[in-house]
Homo-oligomer: A and B are copies of this chain.
Amino acid sequence: MSSAQSFKQAPHKLLVIPGPIEVADQILYANASPSVSHVSPAFVPIFGDCLRMLRKILYAEKTGQPFMIAGSGTLGWDQTGANLVEPGENVVVLNHGYFGDSFADCLQAYGANVTVLKAPVGGIVGEDDLVATVKEQKPKLVTITHVDTSTGVLSPVARYAELIHKASPDTLIAIDAVCAAGSEEIRFDDWGLDVVITAPQKGLGVPPGLSLVMASKKALDVLNRRKAPVTAYYCSWRRWLPIMEAYEAGQAKYFATPPVQLVTALRVGLKQILEDAPKLEERFQIHKDVSNYVKDELEKMGCGFVPLDRANSANGMTAARYPKGITAADVLGPLAERDIVVAGGLHKDIASEYFRVGHMGVTAVDKSRGDVDKILKNVKEVLDIARAKKA
């Protein structure tokens, strides 16, 4: 029989795209747990623990109501649109790349009247622009992509939230933190956020397959007061709230079957983040330190960056522009042949000009793996080989 201690995942290429990321053996082993009833006394506390730990990781213990639903990160956008926006209401979307475009598309599907504030590629939306728009529109909701993985741009969420609260106190603030939770600090209560959307497969280091959402009391009050019906079923927080409350209170309640193995794996992953070294605060600092190291080293190799400013660059990934004369074919394939998988460009205006490296979760935090140096050493080698060929 295999056990959590003896289980080792199969040999594989090092996955350092901006998610899914490498998953620790113990978490994968939990994903291979035997079947368990979703309403059994064995499973209820596992589900409840995940909700409680999500509150801690997002610093949402005062005002946060977690939702954990089978799906992908994208489903969090639908939850936001379906529950919080009534047809014709104004929403402002801060757009720092591909995921800003898509979040806007999603909200429009739910009838929102969307105004997109689009930053230039690699830049962030200006404070004056944000304040003027919010003051003028008093939107129901402003959405912010915490890290847009298409550009590697990090939004100054705390600062934006402060400005939005001041300009329009009733406006709700939703953060797409799919590529931020676990790798970037998120202070749900202190920053006055209303929705944080995330997923397990990035900074939390767990396989994909869950939509993880934190909603504020204010957001749930807005839902309670809405006039138009919620035109969705699976995404309806009214359907899920009693389920989440029940599991957290130690009771089973059925709406739709949760992915029991993945929830079990998530519990192991969240426990590692909260209970193992390093502490949560240190974890964010480690991601910053690793990020600076990766970016400095790539710069030495001649790379530029998609984000225009280091201060607004993600700490869990790097969107690096190829050095002069180097193309995607010189880097992506050669790295994959060396068993290192990075991602190509995703932003349509510059897709061929850059590549993306993830340095989240165990790759950043578990130094004994040596992932970061392995990545940098191999990037340097494939760049050198490409340059030598072209010389």
- Which A positions have Cβ atoms within 8 angstroms of B? 1-3, 6-13, 15, 17, 19-23, 28-29, 31-38, 40, 42, 70-75, 77-78, 81-82, 105-106, 109-111, 199, 201, 207-209, 229-236, 255-262, 341, 343
Contact = CB atoms under 8 A, between A and B. Distances in A.
Which 10 A-B residue pairs are closest in the complex by CB-CB distance?
Answer: A209-B259, A74-B256, A12-B34, A32-B32, A106-B233, A72-B256, A28-B32, A1-B8, A78-B234, A15-B35
A78 B1 contact: no
Interface of A is mostly: loop
A257 B81 contact: no
* Copies per assembly: 2
A257 B72 contact: yes
A3 to B, nearest CB: 7
Given A75-B234, A257-B199, A341-B37, A6 B10 contact: no
A24 to B, nearest CB: 10
A81 to B, nearest CB: 7
Contact of A77 (B15, B42, B234): B234
A33 B9 contact: yes
A230, A260, A261: most-surrounded residue (chain B CB, <10 A): A261
A73 B19 CA distance: 25
Given A2-B6, A12-B36, 5 more contacts: A22-B35, A70-B72, A74-B256, A208-B257, A259-B259
Nearest to A22: B35
A157 B233 CA distance: 25
Contact of A70 (B70, B82, B109): B70
B257 A73 contact: yes
A257 B28 contact: no
A282 to B, nearest CB: 24
18 contacts: A7-B7, A13-B42, A28-B261, A29-B32, A31-B261, A71-B234, A72-B256, A72-B257, A73-B256, A74-B256, A74-B257, A77-B234, A109-B232, A111-B231, A209-B259, A209-B262, A231-B232, A259-B259
